[in-house]
Amino acid sequence: MIGENGEQYGVLPLYEALRVAQDHNTDLVEVAPTAVPPVCRLLDYGRYKFEQEKKERDARKNQKVALLKEVRMGPATDEHDLAFKSKAIQKFLQEGDKVKVTVRFRGRQMAHPQLGRQVLDSILARLQGVATVERPPIVEGRTMSMILTAATGRAASGTPVAAVPSSTPPTVSPTS
């Protein structure tokens, strides 16, 4: 048995440990039930639970939840609009959020997925050094999207921007 301030009482029978707890006006709490013999501690259990909850509240308060923000555009998005969207993405990344950049194809635009890839590559070029690619561009139905994270701290473990492979096949010139 362990006292309130960490003093050792040694191995005591249960009835004697309960009597000591009553004399000190504290609770007898079993802290290591699997040990042989089981280890008990004298403490004010209500105060102990309150302090544990307070620590958890403080930990939650200091925690930053990374949100996933989405920025949508089309394969025919103009240069100025790309610059404007890039600034918005950069602001989201600086706030600690992840950003899903999505290119939405409509109608016959699905016949030219390379245009969407060019838009995403343009965004990556504008965010060089600011963002890393967490998930490279993939086509999901009528959209092509990638997920970006901030380039510093924990997010730096993602794929570097320059190492993203291009999905367009290399061109081969015929030899004659």
Could you tell me where the beta strands, DSSP code E, fall in 63-121?
68-73, 98-104
Res 151: pLDDT: 85
Q: What is the pTM of this model?
A: 0.54
Q: Are 124 and 131 in contact (CB under 8 A)?
A: yes
Q: How far apart are CA 13 and CA 78, in angstroms?
A: 81
Give the length of the chain. Answer: 176
Q: How far apart are CA 148 and CA 135, in angstroms?
A: 7
Res 175: pLDDT: 56
Res 1: pLDDT: 87
**Domains of the chain and CATH, by start:** 14-61 (3.10.20.80), 68-163 (3.30.110.10)
- The number of CA neighbours under 13 Å toward the Cβ of 76 is 7
Q: How far apart are CA 71 and CA 107, in angstroms?
A: 20
Res 162: pLDDT: 45
Q: What is the pLDDT along the chain (176 residues), one digit of tens a residue?
A: 888 888 898 899 999 999 999 998 999 988 888 998 889 999 999 998 999 999 999 888 887 777 899 999 999 999 999 999 999 999 999 988 999 999 999 999 989 999 999 999 999 999 998 999 999 999 999 999 999 999 875 444 444 444 444 545 544 545 54
